[in-house]
Structure formats: structure tokens, C-alpha cells
Structure 1
Amino acid sequence: MKPFEQIIYSNTPAIGKVVDFDPTKDKLLPLDFTSNNKELTDEILDDTDLFSNFINQKLKDSGACYGIGGYDEHRTIYSRSTHFDTEEEPRRLHLGVDIWGPSGTPVYNFYDARVHSFANNYHFGDYGATIILAYEIDGLTFNALYGHLSAASLKGLEPGQFISKGAKFAEFGIQKENGGWPPHLHFQIIQNMYGLKGDYQGVCKFSEREKYLNNCPDPNVILKATFENEHSTRF
């Protein structure tokens, strides 16, 4: 087990929620955005309203409150934006976990943190409103990037500002302010920011997979850790 995983699992009772979720009654729907998903046509991907309707219908049909997934997933959906194109190789490998749900969905801080940085990364396909929080747990320091937020989530923030565990500090943004995506949260762990502020790529070239996954461990470790507490009603 890697150091990040060890620290999180050893502190499971102290890890709070990221979004409201009760595992005794709420349901998650795994969503696949690789080439294996033949339902996602170019027509759907080229129209954000159609894409949103596609996801909403999937959630409704399954009775799920959120769609979930994406870490280390080689996705075809990034072909919808030139933001992910490079001359030598397009970026397609997703480095975070996406939680798909209604705009306005509250986002909570899972552990005491300070604001590392924030920005409105508004380009089609980008994060839109983005907040990065800095954490220290048992001597391990890391950052969490929260992307595709509402523009209002950035109001009143200051670098170094303390955000307590359990505090609601953001919301899922609408497509006009979240980079042109169906409403969802991009949740990504970043160990070394390499001097970047308010942004860090959430999608890398497949040829750079090992380098980026080493710096961006699986966020599911945090999300799943909450279930290991028998009294947990968090996600």
C-alpha cells in the first residue's frame, strides 16, 4: 500500500464527506466514458445540453443520486474540446474522480485545510471555477483540486484561508460557468503542485500516465475510506 493510502486508511474515522451521501439508502451509478461506451455518440458529445440530458436520464433510470468514476480512465469524451489537443499526442487519461449530479449540489471539506489557490479556468472543456485546498494528515502534505464549481464558490476566498472539516465551501456549477460540461465535481489529489496556482491538469497524455498517476493518487481512497466507519453516512 502506498503512503497516501496508508495515511488515509489509518485516519478513516477522521475523514468527512465531500458530498451528501447516505450509503444506507443512496445509490451511485458508475459511468464509463471510454470507447467501450457506444451510447455516447459524437452528436451527444458535441452538444452539452444533449450530454447533460444523457447523464440525467442514466441517473433517473438507475435511481442513483450521483454518477461516479473516471480515475485512470482513458476517455473519448475529451475529443469534444480542443483544450485537450496537442500536436504530438492528445490528452485523454483522466487523473481525478468525477461525481455527476445536479448543479448547486453542495461540496464539503473532508478534513481541515487551507486554501492553496483558486481561479476561474474558463475555456471550453476546462475546469471553470476551481479551488485547490492544502492538507496535512499525520505529516503527509497534499492538495485536493475541486473543479467545475459555481462562479459564486470563488467569492470571498483568500490564499491561506482556513476551511474547517465539514464546511460547505462550494457547489457544482452550471455549464455556463463550469467549462461547458454537464454539472459535476472533478475531485483530484495532487501531491506536488510544482509551483502552479489555481490550476493543474486533470487529464494527461497516455504516454505520461505513470508520472502523473504517481503525483495524483487515487481520490477513491478518500471517498471509500468513509464507508469503513460503520456509522458513516458520508461520501
Structure 2
Amino acid sequence: MNTEKFNHFLNEISKEPLQVIDSNISLEDYFPIVISSKNKELLKFDISSSKAWEKHINLFLEKNKAKIGFGGYLEKRNIYDRSDYFKNQSENNKRNIHLGIDLWCKENTKVLAVLDGEIHSFKNNKNYGDYGPTIILKHQIKKEVFYTLYGHLSLKSIENIKIGDTVLQGNTIGYLGDSSVNGEYAPHLHFQIIRDLEDNFGDYPGVSSKENIAFYKNNCPNPNLLLKILN
């Protein structure tokens, strides 16, 4: 199935928004947030500090009377420069284009399976600036197999699960971690759709370089096709 048809397939799975964060939080409590290099507010604090990030996010949510800040698909970000895991001298090779949607909210917020599926893999990705505890679910709808990735979880989210466990849409599969385990970020969920995992296990690139973005854009469709946070 080509990219256009697959995106249409994803969009048609549900006419209604599919929730990936605590279903008690209404979509009316979501507010878009920009974390690209275009956001000059990011120049006003130390982006290498998780505490400064948390303060910035909390003030943003309070100002906008929101419980969740969301966004970031294909957003070009300079925040990854704080980590040698992503940083690269060449602009074309620098991994700074975000491939998922981030949902910024309080630690320990419930994370939900967006669709029926099974646990494909899980792992604690411990690099500074990485996902921390991560779960990947495998889904099959009709003949189409694809995956969803849930990053920046708490440690307990991956303690009592095993590969092959069945999950149902809306099941709680984990909780958001704090900065001590989630790669040194303010608490948030990184949610990503992946067509081909390329033999990865409990991990998959969440940011791309400019050089490779054409491939990753095709392999990692816009998560909003399922979440429908924005019309």
C-alpha cells in the first residue's frame, strides 16, 4: 500500500478521536504547543535543564488554561543540540526533525493503547535526551500490520509486561515518567506510528535528519491521523 493510501487507511480506522492519554482529560483541555527553533520563548531559559523545561511547560499550560500541550510532528527543533546522542556537525545529518506527536502533561498520567494490539517489545533507552522506558505495540487491521511507539514512560510501566501480551484499545499500558528516567525532559508522551520497524526492538528513531526525512515521513505517518486532536 502506497503512502497516500496508507494514510487514508489510518484516517478511516476511526471517525472519532482515539485517545492515547487518560480518557478523563477532555480534548477541550488540549492546547497546541510549538517547540521548534521558531519559538523565541525557548531562548529565555536553559533548555539543557529538565527543571527549567518543566517550569516552562507548566506556565504554558496554566496561561492557556490547558491540561495537555500537544504537537511536534515534523517540527524542526534545536533542543536536541543539548545532547551528544543527537548532535552532529553537519546540518543535513543533524537529527532534529521530530517524527511523532508529543503530549506534555503531568508525570504519572495514564498512557493508553490507541488501538487493539499486542506488545511487540519494550526497553529502557537510557541515553541522555532519549526515550527512557518505551513500549512498542504491534497492530493488525485487515491485512495491514503497523506499530505504535510510546516513549518517556515510568520505569514501572515496563516492569510487569511481556512480549506478546494482548492489549485492547483504551487499556492503560503505562504512565508518564519524570525527568529522572525519561531522558531528562519535562514529563510528556512521545507517540509515533511506524510502518516498518526495521528490526528495531523497544526503540525506533523519533527524530530524523534533513537528509533522511523523505524516508521517515513515509515510514512514520502523522499520528494525528489516529488521534484527530486537530481537525
Q: Which runs of structure 2 are paired with 1:40-189 in the superposition (5 Å)? A: 40-41=42-43, 43-86=45-88, 88=90, 89-189=93-193
**CA distance in 2: counterparts of 1:227 and 1:109, whole angstroms:** 19
Cα shift at 1:9: 2.8
CA distance in 1, matches of 2:33, 2:83: 20
Separation of aligned partners in 1, 2:42 and 2:17: 35
Letter in structure 2 aligned against 1:41: L
Whether the aligned pair in 2 keeps the contact of 1:15 and 1:111 (CA below 8 Å) is no
- Does the residue aligned with 1:189 lie in a helix, a strand or coil? strand
Name the TM-score, length of structure 2 as normaliser: 0.91
Offset, 1:13: 5.0
- Residue identity matched to 2:199: G
Identity over aligned residues, as a percent? 36
- Matched residue type, 2:185: W
Separation in 2, partners of 1:71, 1:176: 25
Aligned to 1:38: 40
- CA offsets per residue over residues 100-148 of structure 1, 9 Å max, x none? 0000110111211111100000111000000000001122110001000
Counterpart-to-counterpart distance in 2, 1:184 and 1:147: 8
Unaligned runs of 5+ in 1: 229-235
**Quick one: distance in 1 between partners of 2:170 and 2:197?**
24
Contact map agreement 1:95 1:213 (CA 8 A) in 2: yes
Residues 224 and 230, structure 2, Cα contact 8 Å, conserved in 1: no
Q: Which amino acid aligns with 1:219?
A: P
Structure 2 counterpart of 1:232: none
Distance 1:107-1:60 versus aligned 2 partners, 3 A rule: same
| Cα distance between partner residues in 2 of 1:210 and 1:42 | 33
2:75, 2:18 → 1: CA distance?
26
SS in 1 for 2:41: coil
Cα distance, 1:178 vs structure 2? 0.6
Equivalence for 1:6 = 8
Supply the AA of the counterpart residue of 1:176: S
Worse-superposed segment, 187-196 or 87-96: 87-96
Separation in structure 2 between the aligned mates of residue 83 and residue 174 of structure 1, nearest angstrom: 20
Range with bigger deviation, 203-212 or 95-104: 203-212
Q: Note if 1:190 corresponds to 2:189.
A: no
Residues in 2 aligned to 1:82 and 1:41: alpha-carbon distance in whole angstroms = 20
Question: 1:14 touches 1:111 (CA, 8 Å); kept in 2?
Answer: no
Aligned residue pairs total: 225
The 3 A distance-change label for structure 1 pair 10 and 34 is closer
Moved more, 97-106 or 9-18: 9-18
Asked whether 1:29 is paired with 2:31, we answer yes
Pairwise CA RMSD: 1.8
2:11 and 2:126 map into 1 onto residues whose CA distance is: 35
